[in-house]
Every structure is written in structure tokens, then in C-alpha cells.
Amino acid sequence: MDELTDERVVPGTSLRATAVSVGTSFLGNPPGPDGSPAAAADALARALLAGPFAVIDTSNNYAEGRSETVLGTAVRRDGLPADKAIVTKVDADPESGALDRDRVWRSFEESVERLGLPYLPVLHLHDPYTIEVADALAPGGAVQGLTELRDQGLVGAVGIAAGPVSLMRAYAVSGAFDVLLTHNRYTLVDRRAEELIDLAADRGIGVFNAAPFGGGILAGSGDTYAYRTAGPDLLAWLERARELCRRWELPLHAVALRHSLRHPGIASTIVGVGRPERLDQLRELQATPIPESFWPELAALGTPPSTLED
């Protein structure tokens, strides 16, 4: 797969995606004084719908539902462009932590009401950390709810979206999912999701790879990786990587993005966007030429010491 080709069908689905998708966990935060989405959120939603990236990724619990609300307001006013798709996720009940068949249906109904979209091309089971895999797969569990939604034609494909690789593997091998979304486990400083991506390819499961900048540290923002403070070994490795990039006159964040884009098993890479101007910057970053001869020198830096354990 050419990582700069802008059109591809995500395996396991009928969804057409660009190499880069945009995430909206920032959309709707911070809220306005009355708790509703602030005016700036609407400008970002309009930019996302008009931008160059085909898939807009959100979730039932992003910004306490405001992410979906802002997108839905923009869709009702301006329409959903023919070349765009909105993908969302079902989440556990925010009070009880319940994530069974009934909660999946309620989460779906909350999302489509906010979005104003009766059909979703992909619906993910999101961060199912309040339940065991066996419970999710059992009768009356979350997977039954997802399967019912797909069988009734309300969603096109169902996915699993979470972090820990062992958890993702357990769901992927169940045979219940068409697509998966991994985050922070396939970046310049953490490659542990490679086996998961290979497993998905063998089973015809599509892969979204989210957070190629590890929450910001690979884009020059902060000193945390995947929500955890980076240790001295990781910071030292990053400094060596930055020095290598300086010698090649390459931005580290362009290298971080291309690292994900060049993997043939990744259908689309999800990058969170918090301001409208980031869309043009992201497109420029995607187009940054990186010589193939750069990658062996990066590999020679050795295995980076990730802050994660799974």
C-alpha cells in the first residue's frame, strides 16, 4: 500500500478512508460557561467536514458527549459530505461502568441522536476495561449488542478499540470483529502492536492506528508518552532520534507520522486535531519526503525503551 495514496477501502468493511484519519477527542473541550460546547468547537467541526481527510473518529464519551454533539450540529446544518464518514464508539455507562448488550444499544442510540446519523459505517467497542473478555463475548454481553446492530443494518462493521495488546488480541481472535483500533502501541518508541497488526492481516481485519505521536511527545509537546511521564532512558533515545533527524534535516514528527503510514497492515492512521489550522499542517506533514535510506539509520539507534508494559 502506498502510504500517500488517499483512497483505500478498510479491510473488513466497506468504508473508504484516506491514509490519515482525524480524531476528535479534543472537540468540545473545554465547554462553554453553561456546559455546552464553546463556539470554537463549531469552527473545528466545520473544518473537519471540509478538510482533506475522509474519516472523522469520535466516541460516545469524548468530552462527555460534546464531541458528537458538535459534529451532529455541523452535519445537520451543512450536511455530511459524500466523501466523509463519521466513525464512533460505544462506551461503558459513565456511572455504573456497565458495558453489556443493553448498554451497547443505549450508547449507540445516544450517539446517533447526537450525530443525527441513523447509520454508522463502523462502530467500535471502546476501552472495555470494566468487563472481562469472556463477559463481553457471552450471551447478553457487549458483543451480542454490536452483532445485533450490524445484523440489523444499523452499522456496517464492528470494531474493538483499546490499548493493551493482550486485550486486543483476545478480542481479535474471537472472530467477532471486522476492524480494530490500536493506540500508542505502534509508534517510533513502541512497536509492540506489530504482532497484533500481523494477526489482523491474516484474519482480514482492518486496522486503524491511533496516536502516532504518543500523546504529543513525538510532536515536541510535553514529556509524557501514552499519558505517562517519559523516563530518562526514553528521553535519551528521543534525543538521539532528534539528532539523527537534524542531520537529515527532517522533522521528528514527520518521521513519527510516516512510521505509521508506511506499514502495509495499517489502513489508516488517526491523528487527534484540536484546531482548524492543524488540518493543513497535518497534510503538509504527511507529504514531507523521507528518504528510504533514513530508516536503517533510525533502526541502528536500537529498540526504544517504551513506558508501557502491554
Q: Are 300 and 257 in contact (CB under 8 A)?
A: no
Please give the pLDDT value at position 3. 55
pLDDT-derived band at 5 (thresholds 50, 70, 90) equals: low
- Domains of the chain in sequence order: 8-299 (3.20.20.100)
For residues 254-266, average pLDDT? 97
Q: Are 175 and 137 in contact (CB under 8 A)?
A: no
Q: Which of the 8 DSSP states describes residue 141?
A: B
In the predicted structure, residue 2 carries a pLDDT above the cut 80? no
Please give the pLDDT value at position 100. 98
Q: Are 149 and 184 in contact (CB under 8 A)?
A: no
pLDDT per position as a tens digit, 273-307:
999 999 999 999 999 999 999 999 999 999 888 88
pLDDT-derived band at 308 (thresholds 50, 70, 90) equals: confident
pLDDT-derived band at 223 (thresholds 50, 70, 90) equals: confident
The helix (run of H) or strand (run of E) holding residue 65 is: none
pLDDT per position as a tens digit, 74-111:
999 999 999 999 999 999 999 999 999 999 999 999 99
The alpha carbon of residue 108 and the mean position of all alpha carbons in its chain are separated, in whole angstroms, by 18
Collapsing DSSP to helix, strand or coil, 156 comes out as strand
DSSP for 33-54, please give it: TTSSBPHHHHHHHHHHHHSS-S
Q: Which of the 8 DSSP states describes residue 307?
A: S
- State how far the alpha carbon of 227 is from the alpha carbons of 31, 163, 184, 188, 223, in Å: 22, 12, 10, 16, 9
pLDDT per position as a tens digit, 103-159:
999 999 999 999 999 999 999 999 999 999 999 999 999 999 999 999 999 999 999
Query: What does the CA dihedral 266, 300, 254, 7 come to, rounded to 10 degrees?
Result: -20
Region for residue 215 given its phi and psi (left: phi exceeds 0; alpha: psi -120 to 50; beta: otherwise): left
* pTM of structure: 0.96
